[in-house]
Amino acid sequence: MRIADEEGVESLSMRKLAQKLGVKAMSLYNHVTNKDDILCGIVDIVVSEIEVPSLETDWKTAMRRRAISAHEVLLRHPWATMALMSQMNTGSAMLRYVDATLGCLCKAGFSFEMADRAWNAIDSHIYGFTLQELNFPLAATEYAEVAKNFVAFIPADQYPYLNQLTHHVIEGRYDGIHDFEFGLELILNGLDQFREKI
């Protein structure tokens, strides 16, 4: 996991891992099948760092805490979001995490079908927002300065609303920073209508 965090998951190889461990690469095959097996294992370690929803907590609070925790964990491990999205993950941490999520939602009055749809909608927000944050070409501190440089490309007669928004950022009336919790609240409040009140 340290190799993936520091150098990117694409740099992880059986040879490099063996070298870091001070063993021969072939000896690793006594413990794992291949690099994909290692990747599944380290993804499960990442998932184990995410707060598991409590069945004793209000569902919105539990889902909010779960989402914020997942976002923070995935920012710490920049490679992990794509790995989570592109693999079947059946490690014990992942199974516990998903089971607790479903349990929290079902206990709150969601049917199994709606609980599945709900946690997938929440996770789509987490993964999408995290990838955008990790890959956004500007630092938040640069927004106003970049807006000043680009406002000439957004003439008010052609793009009146975008031009006005850009001036809000330039003048400091709005910071332009994307807000993870804003989207999360929209999803949680929207989901409320799909549960049976208990």
Q: CATH number for the domain including 86?
A: 1.10.357.10
188, 95: one domain: yes
**Region of 8 on the Ramachandran plot (φ > 0 left; ψ -120 to 50 alpha; else beta):** left
User: Distance (Å, rounded) from C-alpha 70 to C-alpha 104?
Assistant: 16
Are the CB atoms for 116 and 125 separated by under 8 Å? no
Residue 197: what pLDDT? 66
111, 128: one domain: yes
- Looking at 66-175, which runs of residues are DSSP E strands? none
What does the pLDDT profile of the chain (198 residues) look like in tens digits? 999 999 998 888 888 888 888 898 888 888 888 888 899 999 999 999 999 999 999 999 999 999 999 999 999 999 999 999 988 888 999 999 999 999 999 999 999 999 999 999 999 999 999 999 999 988 888 889 999 999 999 999 999 999 999 999 999 999 888 899 999 999 999 999 998 865
CA atoms within 13 A on the CB side of 145: 5
Q: How many CB atoms lie within 10 A of CB 87?
A: 13
Q: Is residue 62 part of a domain?
A: yes
102, 159: one domain: no
Name the residue with tokens 């793009």.
159
103, 115: one domain: yes
What are the distances in angstroms from CA 103 to CA 54, 85, 110, 151? Answer: 9, 22, 10, 49
125, 141: one domain: no
Sign of CA dihedral 65, 67, 72, 76: positive
Are the CB atoms for 9 and 79 separated by under 8 Å? yes
